[in-house]
Amino acid sequence: MRIRFRAVLPVLPSMVLIMALIPAPASAQGTPRAAAAWTPAHASDGQPDVQGFWEAEIGGTYSLVNPRRGGGRLEELLREKKGLPPIVKPSRIVDPPDGKVPYLPWAAAKQNDLLDHIDTPIKPEYVDPQARCLPDGVIRATFWSPFQIQQFPGYVVIVYEQNHPYRIIPLDGRPHIAESIKLWMGDSRGHWEGNTLVVDVTSNNSKARLDNEGDFASDAVHIVERYTFTDANTFLYEATLEDPSVYTKPWKISARMVRAHRKEPDYELWEDACHEGEHNVEIQTSPNEQRSDEKR
């Protein structure tokens, strides 16, 4: 609960500021900037040292096509009431160029249905798994909260602040586990190409959604992530999703990531128990429950 507030509250006042200060992040929309310009320190096993806390410059997992947090949606509804135009941010999807997920027709219909019931989860299927504290999967977790990259000989470990999921990324070239073993956070294998960490992710159970708006993959999805470190405080996150059972073609998201907690050098990863004592879903689905921020 503590971190949930910490993660959401600062975003509301800062959102307009972010909009003003950061014109459509050009580097997030196109190709990586020249990565060779930055010479990082190297760990004993030769990895570029990129340890520390990171977060998306434009965070939130409410939407892929108009990135923002759930808290941003509250602000949006207020704007709507006041008759102000909606805030629109650049889609995280950079390929295809229209910024939309290239769904097959059946999949587009399913996503629309989930989107239609975003505020009216009349069946358990409509409840976003994130609200049940289920792990977000590799892509959505990247955008929900800050995360800590830790490096050890032969490994990159990523621990996400919210709801304590983690990923272990071996760098030793070992083969993936059997695709029949499905995992919430997938099976990751990584290698470094210069300052770019390339991670191949299989065995995704894809039970998590990609955002609140019902975007999804199937458990056949193959994800390739690229973490391109461009200077000591910035990297470009790119992920390509390939899943012919759901999409007409592979598609790609891209976003600029920055150091988190920069003003708190002694910041520590603290426990964020989510499932334990979680009542979001009861609040969401109970007709008599008065919803309030205090209760959540």
Among the candidate windows 17-25, 124-132, 228-236, 288-296, which touches another protein by CB under 8 A?
124-132
Residue 273 makes contact with another protein by CB under 8 A: yes
Among the candidate windows 52-60, 77-85, 241-249, 266-274, which touches another protein by CB under 8 A?
266-274
Shortest separation between residue 147's beta carbon and another protein, angstroms? 12
161 or 225: CB nearest another protein: 161
Shortest separation between residue 205's beta carbon and another protein, angstroms? 8
Distance of CA 272 to the CA centre of its chain: 17
Residue 3 makes contact with another protein by CB under 8 A: no
76 or 278: CB nearest another protein: 278
Cα–Cα dist 85/83, whole Å? 7
Residue 78 makes contact with another protein by CB under 8 A: no
Question: Encoding tokens for residue 76?
Answer: 């949006």
Residue 290 CB neighbours (<10 A): 8
Beta bridge partners of 97: none
Contacts of residue 138, defined as CB under 8 A and 6 or more positions apart, other chains included, come to 167, 185, 186, 188, 201, 204, 223, 225, 239
Which residue in this structure is represented by tokens 């587009």?
108
Residue count, binding to another protein (CB under 8 A): 36
Residue 44 makes contact with another protein by CB under 8 A: yes
Residue 271 makes contact with another protein by CB under 8 A: yes
Residue 221 makes contact with another protein by CB under 8 A: no
Residue 295: φ, ψ to 5°: -70, -25
